[in-house]
Structure 1
Amino acid sequence: MKGESLYTVFSKALSSEKKAIKYFEKMRWDGKVVSPFDATSKVYKCGNGKYKCKNTGKYFDVKTGTPFANTKLPMKKWLLAIFLFQADNGSISSCQLARFLEITQKSAWYMLMKIREFTTKANANSSKLSGEVEIDETFVGGKNGNRHKDKKVEKCQGRSYKDKVPVFGILERGGKLIAKVVPNTQARTLVPIVKKNVEVGSTVYTDGWSYKGLEGKYEQLSVDHGKHFYGETYVTDDGEIIVVSTNGIENAWSLFKRRLKGTYIRVSKKHLQKYVDEFVFRFNTRNFTDSQRFDLLLRNIA
C-alpha cells in the first residue's frame, strides 16, 4: 500500500506461519510436491502441512531435507530474517535483528550465520569469470596507529599482514566478484585460485605484484602503486580502448571494509569467510530487486 515500507508490506504477506510455509513451498516445489526420500514417488497430502511418500511410507514437510529441518524457530521468523538480511544495504547486526524479531541476540546471531552459509551456496553457483578481470588483495584488521602503545605490531606496514587477515579477490569488469580468505599472498597460493575461477585467455590486471604462473595462459597488465602510478588508458591500432587499472576491485574492497566497520565493528578470523561471502553475494546481486535477491536465497536453501 502507498506510504508503507517494503518491510511492512512483506511482514503482512507473511503475517502467519501458514503463509510463510506456503511461500517456501512455492519456492521449493513450484506447485508440484516432490518427496525428499524418493523423487519418483507419488505424494499424498496430509493434515497440518504434512505429506506422505507412497514408495517409502515416510512423512515429510517443506522443511525436510533443508537447513530449516531441525530448527525450533518458526518459518515466519526465518523468512523475515532473510528478507531483512538481504534488504538492508549496510547489512544488519544480530542486535538489530533480535529487536525486529523479538528473539534473543544469541538466536539472531545463529540465524544470521546460517543465512551467510546460504549466500556461500549461491556464490558457488557462479560461472567462471572472463574477458577483463582485476585481481587484488586486501587485509582485514585494525589500524596499527589506533592501537595502544603496548599492543602495536612492529613492521606491519604495506604487504605485511602479521596483525591482519589477507583476502584475495577477482573482479570481472562489469560482472561478478569472487573473494577468498587466504593464508598468505604468495603466488603459489593465489595463482591456483585465478586458474580455477578465470577463463584461459582473459586479460588480468594487477597492482604490480608478481603473480608468477599466469604467463602464457593469460595476458597480464599491471599498474605500479608503489610508484604512485594508478593506471592509464590507451587505444590500440584496432580502435580498442584499454584501461589498465585495478580501480574496480579497489572500490569493492572499500565498500567491504566500510560495511564491516559500520555494521559489525569487529569480525573474528574464524568467521571472516562467511562475512566475505555475504559481501560477494550483495555485490553480485547489486542490480537485483529485494524480491529477486530474497527469492534467489530461498531457492538455494531449498
Structure 2
Amino acid sequence: MKTEFTLLTLSENFPDEESCIRYFEKMRWGDEVISPYDSNSKVYKCGNGKYKCKNTGRYFDVKTGTAFANTKLPMQVWFYAMMLCLSHKRSISSCQLARDLGITQKTAWKMLHKIRQYMAMENNHTLSGEVEIDEAFVGGKNKNRHKDKKVEKCQGRSYKDKVPVFGILERGGKVIAKVVPNTQAKTIVPIIKEKVELGSVVYTDGWDYSGLHGKYVQRSVDHEKHFYGTTYVTDEGEIIVVSTNGIENVWSHFKRMIFGIYYHVSKKYMQRYIDEYIFRFNTRNYSDSQRFNLLLRNVA
C-alpha cells in the first residue's frame, strides 16, 4: 500500500471493504487489538471481523465506539466521503456528496457532520509568541435581503442577525476560533487567557482589553481611523509588524467557504463549520493523504 495517495488513487489503496477495515484497525490499535470495554482484557478473534472481550464477554469490532459504529454504510463509502471532503479546497456540499456516492442527501448531510465532529480536535491548541485576535460576524448582508426581511441597524459590530465568532491566530502557526455569545471583554479575555501563553504579544484591531494588561504585550491598529498597520524597527534591531491582516485573511477565506459551498449555515451548527475550516487551515501544508490519516486517527 502506498503511503501517499490522492482521490484518484484511493481505489488502489482501498479496493474493498476488507482493506479499509484492516487499515482502520492498524490506525486504531496498531499491532495489538484492545477491547473498548476493558483495555486489560484478553481478546479473542472471531469470524467476520469480530472480536470478543474475555473479561466482559462482549463482542466488538474496529468500528465500535467510533463514528462508524451502528452505520449501515460500508467503511469504503466513509473513506471516499472523507477523501472527497478533504481533497476539495473549500469542502463539498451534502448535495454534491450524495450525487458522487449515490446516497441520499440526508445521509450525506449526517456523514459530513460526523466527520466535522472529529475535525474539532484541531481547534483546541495553545498559542504563543505573536498572536492576532479578531471577531467576525457571520450572516447575510442587508442589501441582499428582501425588503420584508431586512434588519434595522445591523451593520458593523451589531450581531442581531449574525453569529459572532472569535478567533486567535499565531503568526506563522495555527489558529483557533469559537462561536461566542457576544464580543464583550468579559467573554473574550477568558478565552485569550486559556488559549494564549502568558507573555505573548497580542495584536488587536483597536479594542483595548484591560484584562490583558500586565500579562501580555498588547499592540493595536485602529481601523476606524483608517490605520491598518505599520512596520518599524526597535533599537535592538527587532522588526515589529503591527497589524491584524493575518486573522482577517482567515475570516475572508472562511466566509468564502460558506458563501461558495454552503450558501447558508444555521446558528445551531455554526461551530461545526468553523471546526471544519480550522482543520483545513491548520493542515494547509499537509498532503491529502496526511490530512486523511490525521482525521482517521481522530476518529480512531
TM-score category by the smaller chain?
over 0.9
Q: How does 1:76-155 map to 2 (within 5 A)?
A: 76-124=76-124, 126=125, 128-155=126-153
Residue matched to 2:14: 14
Instruction: Tell me how far 1:265 sits from its aligned partner.
Output: 0.5
Q: Which shows bigger deviation, 258-267 or 46-55?
A: 46-55
Q: Which shows bigger deviation, 147-156 or 231-240?
A: 147-156
Residue matched to 1:168: 166
Instruction: Tell me how far 1:15 sits from its aligned partner.
Output: 2.4
Matches of 2:280 and 2:147, distance apart in 1 = 37
Q: Is the 2:44–2:54 Cα contact (8 Å) retained in structure 1?
A: yes
Q: TM-score, normalised by structure 2?
A: 0.96
The partner residue of 1:190 within 184, 188, 191 is 188
Matches of 2:290 and 2:265, distance apart in 1 = 28
Instruction: Tell me how far 1:60 sits from its aligned partner.
Output: 1.1
Residue identity matched to 2:195: N
Residue identity matched to 2:64: T
Instruction: Tell me how far 1:164 sits from its aligned partner.
Output: 1.1
Instruction: Tell me how far 1:57 sits from its aligned partner.
Output: 2.2
Instruction: Tell me how far 1:19 sits from its aligned partner.
Output: 1.3
Instruction: Tell me how far 1:159 sits from its aligned partner.
Output: 1.1
Residue matched to 1:69: 69
3-state SS of the aligned residue for 1:8? Answer: coil
Instruction: Tell me how far 1:150 sits from its aligned partner.
Output: 2.3
Matches of 2:57 and 2:165, distance apart in 1 = 49
Matches of 1:157 and 1:50, distance apart in 2 = 57
What do residues 247-275 of structure 1 show as CA deviations (whole Å, max 9, x unaligned)? 00000100000111000000000000000
Instruction: Tell me how far 1:84 sits from its aligned partner.
Output: 1.2
Unaligned runs of 5+ in 2: none
Matches of 1:29 and 1:282, distance apart in 2 = 26
Residue matched to 2:279: 281
The partner residue of 2:245 within 244, 247, 251 is 247
Q: TM-score, normalised by structure 1?
A: 0.95
Q: Is the 1:122–1:300 Cα contact (8 Å) retained in structure 2?
A: no
Residue identity matched to 1:150: D
Q: Which shows bigger deviation, 6-15 or 266-275?
A: 6-15
Stretches of 4+ moved more than 6 A in 1?
none
Residue identity matched to 2:78: W
Q: Which shows bigger deviation, 37-46 or 173-182?
A: 37-46
Q: Is the 2:123–2:177 Cα contact (8 Å) retained in structure 1?
A: no
Matches of 1:86 and 1:6, distance apart in 2 = 10
Q: Is the 1:122–1:297 Cα contact (8 Å) retained in structure 2?
A: no
3-state SS of the aligned residue for 1:137? Answer: strand
Residue matched to 1:261: 259
Matches of 2:43 and 2:159, distance apart in 1 = 56
What do residues 65-120 of structure 1 show as CA deviations (whole Å, max 9, x unaligned)? 22222112111111111111111111000011111111000000000011011111
Instruction: Tell me how far 1:223 sits from its aligned partner.
Output: 0.2
Instruction: Tell me how far 1:14 sits from its aligned partner.
Output: 2.0
Matches of 1:152 and 1:274, distance apart in 2 = 27
Matches of 1:196 and 1:168, distance apart in 2 = 13
| Pair 1:234-2:232 in alignment | yes
Residue matched to 1:55: 55
Instruction: Tell me how far 1:181 sits from its aligned partner.
Output: 0.8
Instruction: Tell me how far 1:161 sits from its aligned partner.
Output: 1.6
What do residues 44-63 of structure 1 show as CA deviations (whole Å, max 9, x unaligned)? 21111111222222221101
Instruction: Tell me how far 1:149 sits from its aligned partner.
Output: 2.0
3-state SS of the aligned residue for 1:52? Answer: strand
Q: How does 1:215-230 map to 2 (within 5 A)?
A: 215-230=213-228
What do residues 114-157 of structure 1 show as CA deviations (whole Å, max 9, x unaligned)? 10111113433x3x100000000011111111222222222122
3-state SS of the aligned residue for 1:185? Answer: coil
| Pair 1:34-2:34 in alignment | yes
Question: Equivalent pairs: percent with the same residue?
Answer: 71
Residue identity matched to 1:28: R
| Pair 1:199-2:197 in alignment | yes
Residue matched to 1:25: 25
Unaligned runs of 5+ in 1: none
Q: Is the 2:90–2:257 Cα contact (8 Å) retained in structure 1?
A: yes
